[in-house]
Amino acid sequence: GYGNRGKFTSVHDSLFVRTFFFEQQKQQYAIITFDLIMLHTDLKNAIIKKVQENNQFKNIKIYFSATHSHSSIGGWAKGTLAKFTLGGYDQKIVDLLVEKTIKTIEKASQKTELVQFTYSKTAVPDYVKNRIVDTAYADTYLRTIFFKTPTKTATLTTFSAHPTNLHFRSTEVSADYPAYFIQEMEKTVDFSMFCAGGIGSHCVSKDLEQKHQNIQEYGKELAKCVSVSYTHLRPTRRTPISYAV
């Protein structure tokens, strides 16, 4: 995510692939997000090829996303640019990501339940700003879909602040603030997913001093903004759903 900084030497917090699985009128859908800076076509195509080898998922429609952590692993894209920004291409990393992704789809598909869902948009202007021009427009909303089955609750949230809060020379693997956001959310719901929003010109508005403790507090505070909103919403629709990590 930061280019030429060498190899990672330690893992601060684990990286995950998370999947929502839906069925509606015999059509299957999946929303899959990775603790990666982005999802390259090389990785996407490798996943789709493997999924289609399973007749059970031959016609599944998949929406891919990522948390956009700049302190996550590379090695999953080919080309000159990828070599300098993502550490080149490593087939072992691609194989691992494909394997873990397939497992989440298979796991999620085995336990679907009828679901009710609704949507919330919460303004959090104290948590994000335009990093190009301080006074320019910033998308200050946490957008969340809330899911409720007879036995489980889950959320899918998007937010626009860049997860670039560790030093660009840091050699620790980390999912940055989305990891802590999810951890805090899962204190009140059974499953939570985070997808990067329109992050191009946006960054966190707080000085986190490139410290994990501060990044953790930021993620927790964001999650509490969403959790408060959850108590005031009522589900509105039904369709079979499941999830896996």
pLDDT band at residue 181 using 50, 70 and 90 as cut-offs: very high
Residue 143 and residue 195: Cα distance in Å, rounded? 10
Q: What tokens appear for 176 in the block? A: 């940055």
Identify whether the C-beta of residue 226 lies closer than 8 Å to the C-beta of residue 157. Answer: yes
| Max CA distance (Å), the chain | 52
Cα angle: 43, vertex 158, 82; to 5 degrees = 30
Identify whether the C-beta of residue 19 lies closer than 8 Å to the C-beta of residue 244. Answer: yes
Three-state secondary-structure class, residue 118: strand
Q: What is the pLDDT of residue 1?
A: 47
pTM of the model as a whole: 0.89
Q: What digits encode the pLDDT tens for the residues 68-77?
A: 998 788 888 8
Q: What digits encode the pLDDT tens for the residues 123-147?
A: 999 999 888 887 888 889 999 999 9
pLDDT band at residue 230 using 50, 70 and 90 as cut-offs: low
Residue 187 and residue 183: Cα distance in Å, rounded? 7
